[in-house]
Amino acid sequence: MSPKIIVITGASSGIGAELARQLGAQGHRLVLAARNAEALRTVAAECQGLAVTTDVTVRAQVVALRDAALKAHGRVDVWVNNAGQGISRGVLELTDEDIDAMMAVNVKSALYGMQAIVPHFQGRNEGHLINVSSFLARVPMASIRSAYNAAKSALNALTANLRMDLGASHPGVHVSVVMPGIVSTPFAANARGAAPGAGPSAPPAPSQTPQEVAAAIVALIAAPKGELITNPALVAVGQRYIADVDAFEAGMRQGHGARP
């Protein structure tokens, strides 16, 4: 894969930081964004990237991130909307503030990124937008995530609709959604609200490391496609859910992990 100019949000830790390390090791030129300036600078130093402290819930700051990338490199080839935050509340416990926060950090931030960078891609008829979502957007394996799952479902829908629009008018622009399952990161500890007692009692697939998820995204950049479930074991899980929702959910409630 030839060197690319790649912007990654949420790059100070977890999947975003590991993705930066792997892409930096391959010689790509990176522009990294996150709110935690100190942690972001550390990651950027590891991969010779440009650190741009950014609150992606503020549209003007996302536009400034794009402008910083264009000023530094003259173009952007790949934009990864990776920033996000979870929640640890069931549906009946959600407040207005919870919903607003989940939509701001998981949907509106990505929308700002899409609206900032896609016109640049359209002008070149070239580029790759990647939105990092979650398998929980498709299958309710952890209902404690409620509003997070709903927000990521909205992100999936926005991504698919944008892909349909651009596929007709700008076939050189790729739009992808990435859906990791359970990943061993500080995500749960950083979730909004009280920490959950546990995830699924019998998860239908083993967790992945940030390194595994990042490697899957690196492969996606090399060979773009519309949708990527990073854990291959979850592909069949999603198919079982669609085939018989009632049976799948009954299995999850009984602690069977929805296995046949």
Four-CA torsion 218, 224, 228, 232, nearest 10 degrees: -70
Ordered per-residue pLDDT tens for the chain, 260 residues: 799 999 999 999 999 999 999 999 999 999 999 999 999 999 999 999 999 999 999 999 999 999 999 999 999 999 999 999 999 999 999 999 999 999 999 999 999 999 999 999 999 999 999 999 999 999 988 899 999 999 999 999 999 999 999 999 999 999 999 999 988 755 655 555 655 544 444 556 678 999 999 999 999 999 999 999 999 999 999 999 999 999 988 988 877 544 43
The domain limits of the chain are: 5-232
- Domain 5-232: give its CATH code: 3.40.50.720
Give the C-alpha separation, 26 to 8, whole Å: 15
Full DSSP string of 165-186: HHHHH-TTEEEEEEE--SBSST
Residue 179 bridge partners (DSSP): 229
| Tokens at 189, concatenated | 């500890």
Q: Is 121:73 a contact under the CB 8 Å cutoff?
A: no
| Tokens at 158, concatenated | 């926005």
| Tokens at 238, concatenated | 């999603």
Which residues are known catalytic residues? 148
Please state whether the predicted TM-score (pTM) of the whole model is above 0.75: yes
Residue 137: per-residue pLDDT: 95
Give the C-alpha separation, 98 to 143, whole Å: 15
